[in-house]
Amino acid sequence: MPESRSRGVRALPGAVRSGRERVTGVFQRRFPTVAVTGMTGVGKTELVDHLCGRPSKDGTPEAGSAVLERRVRRGSRLQGFRFRVVPGANAATRLGALDEVFYDDPVDGVLHVVADGLATGRRTAGTTGWADVDRDEQRERELEDWTLTAHRIASMAVRRGRPIWLIIVVTKVDLFPDAIEEVVRSYSPGSGTPFGDKLDELRALAGAANLSIDVLPACSHIEKGGAISPKQRDRYLAALEARMAQLAGHV
């Protein structure tokens, strides 16, 4: 740097200079890459659209990969974050995509999205209740999907030289507004549910120091006349973003 410029910088008032250093620090830091997993229809795409601050242009994957790359829009809280969404539909592509984000090019954190059996949940036309059999079936599928993903997270955490973080995102809470706490608890470590047991296993395998686990409610879509207001939805998303920023050290 030319002498005159470096002197110019030194001559800046302290507050400005430290602001400048802060900015430089942000640029030097490595921005996190986050895997987004969970079975089809659970709400991954819609969630990531919100976190990125823009809708996907029906995101086409990179050549030779099923993983959808999404980046956060400038100026948003998670600026610089990169999301890698693992598609859930096709079993074969899904396995390859899981390998890609957990082995080939490991991520810094994971959002595993669940919806308590409401992956494709819709109120059946002409009825007021849920098709309970379908919901239970979908809970089973969610659990199978989680088992598969949890194994990969465990081995990544073990191989990785630095800690990784996992957030279980319990989404579509607008569809069970009176049971949010209870459902969130059922997806938590130590809950004694099948999902919770797998989470405990995962933590034991990975080692608590290698893996942090959070469970947060979310909602990224508002159905007309639904139980969650847009303001409440935004609060859920803001809390999720704040936690992610904290886990990634971007506070």
Residues 30, 36, 38, CA angle at the centre, nearest 5°?
160
Binding to ligand GDP (CB under 6 A) within 78-97 occurs at 88
- Smallest gap from Cβ 93 to ligand GDP, in A, equals 13
- Are 36 and 111 in contact by the 8 Å Cβ rule? The answer is yes
Q: Establish if 149 lies at the interface with Mg ion (CB under 5 A).
A: no
Q: Of the candidates 174, 183, 199, 215, which one interacts with ligand GDP according to CB under 6 A?
A: 174
Does position 216 bind ligand GDP by CB under 6 A?
Answer: no
Asked if residue 219 binds ligand GDP (CB under 6 A), the reply is yes
* Half-sphere exposure for 195 (CA within 13 Å, toward CB): 22
Residues 6+ apart with CB under 8 A from 36: 44, 47, 48, 83, 84, 85, 86, 110, 111, 113
SS3 label, residue 212: strand
Select the binding partner of residue 117 from Mg ion, ligand GDP, none (C-beta < 5 to 8 A, by kind).
none
Burial class (CB in 10 A: 0-12, 13-18, 19+), 247: buried
Contacted by 154, from ligand GDP, Mg ion, none: CB < 5 to 8 Å by type: none
User: Of 41-70, which residues contact Mg ion (CB under 5 A)?
Assistant: 45
**Total of residues contacting ligand GDP (CB under 6 A):** 17
Of the residues 34, 44, 153, 186, which one makes contact with ligand GDP according to CB under 6 A:
44
Asked if 85 and 65 touch (Cβ cutoff 8 Å), the reply is no
Q: Which residues bind ligand GDP (CB under 6 A)?
A: 38, 40-46, 88, 171-172, 174-175, 219-221, 223
